[in-house]
Amino acid sequence: MIRRIFIALSLLLLTACQSIPEGVTPVTEFDEQRYLGKWYEIARLDHSFERDLSNVTAEYSLREDGGIRVLNRGYKAEDKEWSEAEGRAYFVGNRDTAHLEVSFFGPFFSSYVVFELGEEYDYAFVSGYNTDYLWLLARTPTVSDQVMADFLALAEEKGFNFNEIIFPVQQ
């Protein structure tokens, strides 16, 4: 009986971490080749694994196993050093739908959902499996006032904690 409960809870946790926040819809007709490359983090909801980092970037490249290599990098001024985390991502469903599962820690995966994307793949609004995780990424260290306004409006509309969004330094 305990084994069944453990298995059920494990499956529930794995499924929950691949879920999508209510009201958030992944981009369709997604072109992973165009998404690959370097992105700058313009805004995010703060969380422990990126706390106090500036100059944060994410770089995406193809893996031999068909997945996507994720290399996140940021500078921690207090320690005067760069921090890096390498992960792997895989599409949850079709490769043309921007819903992936990403892992930086062994067998544990979480959702990565691109729910808004610039026509030229110049900016992306990304969420995690719930409204505690939100990022604005761009191909350049800054975005236009219009992109920022759209991001903030959509974040509020979708139920993200609008007042907790931070804007890390990009130099």
Check whether 79 has a pLDDT greater than 60.
Answer: yes
Containing 54, the helix (H) or strand (E) segment is strand 53-62
The pLDDT tens digits of the residues spanning 47-56 come to 888 899 999 9
The pLDDT tens digits of the residues spanning 5-49 come to 333 333 334 444 668 999 999 999 999 999 999 999 999 999 888
| Residue 17 confidence (pLDDT) | 60
Scanning the structure block, which residue is given the tokens 């494990």? 10
Sort 117 into a burial class: Cβ within 10 Å, 0-12 / 13-18 / 19+: buried
Residue 46 near residue 156, CB atoms below 8 Å: no
Residue 50 near residue 73, CB atoms below 8 Å: no
The pLDDT tens digits of the residues spanning 80-94 come to 999 999 999 999 999
Two tokens, residue 82: 């760069």
| Residue 16 confidence (pLDDT) | 45
Q: Reduced to 3 states, what is the DSSP secondary structure of residue 58?
A: strand
Average confidence (pLDDT) over 111-117: 97
Name the average pLDDT for the chain.
Answer: 89
Two tokens, residue 7: 């298995």
Average confidence (pLDDT) over 135-161: 97
The verdict on pTM exceeding 0.95 is no
The Cα–Cα gap between 122 and 140 comes to: 8
